[in-house]
Amino acid sequence: MLPKGILFDFDGVIVDSAKSHNTAWSSAFKELFGTEIAAFPKSLSGKSPMVIAAYFCSFIGKEAQTKDLFFLKDTHLDVNFTTPKLLPGVHECTTFLSEKSISYGIASNATKQFLKNSIHHLNLNFTTVFGLEDYEKPKPAPEAYITLAKALDFTENDFKNIWVFEDSLTGTTAAKLAGMIPIGILTQYSEEQLKEAGSQMVFPTLLEAYQYLKNL
């Protein structure tokens, strides 16, 4: 049975944007503090940029400048924008969902401007998109996916029939807490890790997920 709706994370599900984000973090940190940034730990994947900024600042005892780093990184990401790499199956999924009249959208912990820039440059068919600025509590809180689902006119009774494509443990937790069905994408975590976090199924990319959906 096809889901009533499908919600997508962005980084690691629709695009590989690691280079874009890492370059922006590095250049912003160097400008602000005049030194090199610490290595990016996998445990921060999918978390709010403010949490990431706090982590990097704590390394050099500059926690008080967390917001400064957060805003400067966002500026670097926009001014020095580089188009992220599109991952397999995105166009196939959105075309299929449109043909089946299944509502879909994006809820990400990335900033709204980065999402808009990426969607524009990659010519993606997403009209309902939520970013970090749209929530009081970003993932792993469920607010991001609840906000998106309600914007797509779903009620709480529909949530149990909504799929959420996620590649991070942070986002998988958010989807699970929202009462939706987390579906794992194997960008960075193993099948075992994603299922332990709550994923009910796991696919290598959205292409395999699309092939599964079209046979339902």
CA distances from 10 to 28, 36, 61, 87, 163 (A): 22, 27, 31, 10, 14
pLDDT at 122 over 90: yes
- Please tell me the predicted confidence (pLDDT) of residue 45: 84
- Please tell me the predicted confidence (pLDDT) of residue 156: 97
* Structure tokens belonging to residue 134: 């749209």
- Please tell me the predicted confidence (pLDDT) of residue 2: 97
Q: List alpha helices for the chain, DSSP H.
A: 18-33, 49-58, 66-79, 90-99, 112-122, 143-151, 169-177, 191-197, 206-213
Task: Delimit the domains of the chain by residue range.
Answer: 5-16+84-213, 18-79
Nearest to 6, CA basis, from 205, 168, 185, 148: 148
Mean pLDDT value across residues 44-62: 93
Mean pLDDT value across residues 101-121: 96
- Please tell me the predicted confidence (pLDDT) of residue 150: 98
Q: Using an 8 Å Cβ cutoff, are 11 and 46 in contact?
A: yes
pLDDT at 44 over 90: no
* Structure tokens belonging to residue 101: 């009249």
Helix axis angle, 66-79 relative to 49-58, nearest 10°?
120
What residues does 15 pair with on adjacent strands?
11, 86
**pLDDT confidence band for 186 (50 / 70 / 90):** very high
**pLDDT confidence band for 132 (50 / 70 / 90):** very high
Distance CA 118, CA 168 (A): 20
- Please tell me the predicted confidence (pLDDT) of residue 43: 85
- Please tell me the predicted confidence (pLDDT) of residue 46: 85
Hey, is 22 helix, strand or coil? helix
Mean pLDDT value across residues 162-184: 98
For 107, the enclosing helix (H) or strand (E) is: strand 103-107
Class of domain 5-16+84-213: alpha beta
- Please tell me the predicted confidence (pLDDT) of residue 133: 94
**Averaged pLDDT score across all residues of the chain:** 96
Q: Using an 8 Å Cβ cutoff, are 33 and 60 in contact?
A: yes
